[in-house]
Structure 1
């Protein structure tokens, strides 16, 4: 579906133009056309391929989708794939991954957004508010799109970190099923891996756009792409730190379970020892021998009960003092 098709010249918007007029505008010096598509059909991509002269392999990747984030050069044009990470309709506990494919040439920008509800109208408005920067042409538009995609990663990583902090606090509280906490931690780790698969390849790909042999399209915007690379580096570091924390939290949770089981075992052992003394005394005095000296003693029964109670009380005191009860 066509979202918009706009022609720009010298950093200023000329007009919204029909697709049929694209070739007329891109042939003008200092003019470039920015087209935005959403969930494009093969027919729409075929029209754009004809208008802009897109490379067939890049068009094929855009049609199939589900590509790894990357930056590829085809002659004097670029093909950029980025993942769009956003909360799913199922709730914040799930992450939905969309994709935006960007074709960039010296006189055109074509963005194709797939499986995502969030558009880039704000990016277009930002660029139009900065005509001095928009004079840099298609390279600056590519930066603005990449910057918008990367900025959308920050709320996701913040939400994951807040959830991890909440789970960590629950680990040291009494109650709660250990199985549920481990399940939450593994689910959090899975979602962090989804974000990692979006960020890590893009970090490597963005490095091609600043420093070293930079594509001609991006020469005038190198410092801006460097800023995007810094943001990606921060996010990548946060993800790695969070994954390490999740692994540590799982180990701590298992250790807490072991400690709780040890406490239960000690309590059971202490009570078993106390009742074992009762059983031992009762077993001795319960033997049916004829010549047992205690059988003729008037106060034998109360004395036996008192001795059992005193011994059990002493054992309870010692176990209590040792922290077993």
Structure 2
């Protein structure tokens, strides 16, 4: 869903959808640790940066929204934010701790959203969390762990005042859309690696390192799925108007985010199935090779058993063996051994054991 849908025309070129930094690198508004950015907007236009202590004074004004971004804040900073916006104690407690399950909670006239973030770091998926407090006239985002900077989201919103004039609902949509869009590079990277493993499997048997990598990818996809699937319900609930302060004009945008999340979920499920098939195919190829080797060994063992058995008989210490005194007995025995071995060899060749 594009910004032009909201304002009829673009107000300038948009910044890239993400900077891929994975850290709070956009600077701070007040130099205070944990505070990434804190600004106030009126009618979609940025008025100025503010301090946390004065944030509550702006929220009651008409067409004004306060947008605060925090990165791993301490307890004192969260308590100050809670005091400014009358946030619920349970939501503040959850925001102070990572490893929360994606969810949406309603506290009076405000909502609390938890979303898991993901991006690739050296061929591994780095997971983080974003906690969002959304109420009338304010949005507070709290990031934990490896999370991509939201400065690109802020810049994109500021570049379209007509869209940002929808206030906190549009900011919430923009952040969720950014989180969901960042899932796609992760899925595409894994998809490319899965295709490479499939091609390698068709050419030759997978090595032990490939099997270990395949298992790690399946485990990472399971973690990614656990982060994505609950977000489907979170986004779907934003399509309805029962949430506090929900704007009807925002429903198509949240529906678009829901579609994107479901598409990511489908891609993850498809990749997990492909990885499962690749793993099973690798096992089947390995078993087939072992079976073929076992057949060859059994065939040669049967062939070698003929001269071994005959030679074993003649090694017995018996005097009354008529063949021992036959003039051409040695040559006859060799001919019998050779004939039996050739017969067995041709039999196993026809049976494709050799």
TM-score (normalised: structure 1): 0.91
Q: Work out whether 1:201 is the aligned partner of 2:234.
A: no
Residues 66 and 139 of structure 2 are in contact (CA less than 8 Å); yes or no, is this contact kept in structure 1?
yes
Partner of 2:114: 81
Partner of 1:186: 215
Distance of 1:174 and 1:33 partners within structure 2: 59
Distance of 2:126 and 2:159 partners within structure 1: 31
Distance of 1:158 and 1:288 partners within structure 2: 76
Q: Which runs of 5+ in 1 are unaligned?
A: none
Question: Of the candidates 190, 202, 217, which is equivalent to residue 160 of structure 1?
Answer: 190
SS in 2 for 1:27: coil
Query: How far does the alpha carbon of each residue in 1:234-257 deviate from its partner, in whole angstroms, 9 at most, with x for none?
Result: 111122222233333333333223
Partner of 2:325: 296
Alpha-carbon shift at residue 218 of structure 1 (Å): 4.1
Q: Segments of 4+ in structure 1 off by > 6 A?
A: none
Question: Of the candidates 143, 152, 162, which is equivalent to residue 132 of structure 1?
Answer: 162
Alpha-carbon shift at residue 206 of structure 1 (Å): 1.2
Partner of 1:262: 291
- 1:220–1:18 distance in 2 versus 1, CA, 3 Å: same
Residues 118 and 147 of structure 2 are in contact (CA less than 8 Å); yes or no, is this contact kept in structure 1?
no
Partner of 2:303: 274
Q: Which is helix-richer, 1 or 2?
A: 1
Distance of 1:298 and 1:64 partners within structure 2: 97
Q: How many residues align?
A: 321
- 1:290–1:23 distance in 2 versus 1, CA, 3 Å: closer
| RMSD, matched Cα | 2.1
Superposed counterparts of 1:232-271, under 5 Å: 232-271=261-300
Q: Which runs of 5+ in 2 are unaligned?
A: 1-33
SS in 2 for 1:222: helix
Residues 71 and 206 of structure 1 are in contact (CA less than 8 Å); yes or no, is this contact kept in structure 2?
no
Query: How far does the alpha carbon of each residue in 1:67-116 deviate from its partner, in whole angstroms, 9 at most, with x for none?
Result: 1111111122111111111234xx31x32221111111121111111112
Distance of 1:218 and 1:195 partners within structure 2: 30
Residues 277 and 308 of structure 1 are in contact (CA less than 8 Å); yes or no, is this contact kept in structure 2?
yes
Partner of 1:48: 81
